[in-house]
Amino acid sequence: MRCVILDDYQDVAGTYAAWDSLDDVEVTSVTEHLDTEALVRALDGAEIVVAMRERTPFPATVLERLPALNLLVTTGMRNASIDLAAAERLGVTVCGTPSSPHPPVELTWALIHALTRHIVTEASGHTWQRTVGSDLHGRTLGLLGLGKIGTRVAAVGQAFGMEVIAWSPHLTAERAEPTGVRAVDKATLFETSDIVSLHLVLAEATRHIVGDRELASMKPTAYLVNTSRAGLVDTQALIAHLGSDTIAGAGLDVFDVEPLPADDVLRHLPNVVATPHLGYVTEDNYRRFYGGAVDDIAAWLAGDPIHTLVPKDPDA
């Protein structure tokens, strides 16, 4: 039986799990990102595929061209780029894996520090002390989303002496109160925050939830940080505001097209710190991801799949 691990960019998947424990399964990995035609060729005859997060989409049009596919494992327990209804219709079992909320929290703060203290500029230059950094203590951190990642980001901000406020479509003052975070309306968050950080799930209701109006209302000294999903932000509006300096800058780990093309404007704006979707890329998380994938495959081979993902009932 053939198993293909996709988008193993660092060529490390084999070192983070006991793939050799899978009897009679031939495991290979692909280290480059594949377009649709190359993907279909690479997966020809493969019964099992392991996808790394949402690096490679599996819409119905792709799944229908993979007749041998029986098990699709995605790292993490949510993957918006897999058409679960099509997988179910085609008899493909889809499973997820455990993951950790800590790596994206840590990267969020890495981006915040890089922006406010001009780390990239200072570390890459030959002139001593070219910039003056912004303080965090006493400033306001605004969070879009106060779930398991947002609450951890909030706790770090509070440790730095920041006032933390939050908004999401369903956040209430009662839910926010135990975390020490003040729930506010969306307009207040954008108008008063010195740093706005996104921690929402991407859905139709949240797509472009940050657009021209929200960006225009931010302080010219404020920063936007997105380690969640690119679709939460209207990218063209963001580029316009960054280019006109109506906001101070942005720290971005997620993009509409990934890998981000070399000539993309976001790679070259001086007030952008861009990282290549590193939010979940840590040793511990890779052990959870790939170890969980091995567990999923073993359970499926034994006829008792675990961590299965199914389409949501639209009437539920």
Catalytic residues: 229, 258, 277
- Parallel, antiparallel, or unpaired for β 26-29 and 2-5? parallel
| CA dihedral over 60, 62, 66, 67, signed as positive or negative | positive
Torsion region of 263: left, alpha or beta (phi above 0 gives left; psi -120 to 50 gives alpha): alpha
Burial of 37 (0-12, 13-18, 19+ CB in 10 A): exposed
Q: What is the DSSP string of 50-69?
A: EE-TTSS-B-HHHHTT-TT-
- Parallel, antiparallel, or unpaired for β 223-226 and 195-198? parallel
Helix, strand, coil share (%) of the chain residues, nearest 5: 35, 15, 50
- Parallel, antiparallel, or unpaired for β 140-144 and 195-198? parallel
Are 276 and 259 within 8 A, CB to CB? yes
Instruction: Look at the block and give the residue holding tokens 């999923």.
Output: 296
What does the alpha-carbon distance between residue 302 and residue 8 come to, in Å, rounded to a whole number?
A: 26
What does the alpha-carbon distance between residue 276 and residue 99 come to, in Å, rounded to a whole number?
A: 19
Are 136 and 160 within 8 A, CB to CB? yes
CA distances from 220 to 224, 241, 247, 282 (A): 11, 10, 4, 34
Q: How far apart are the two ends of the chain, measured CA to CA in Å?
A: 37
What does the alpha-carbon distance between residue 103 and residue 228 come to, in Å, rounded to a whole number?
A: 12
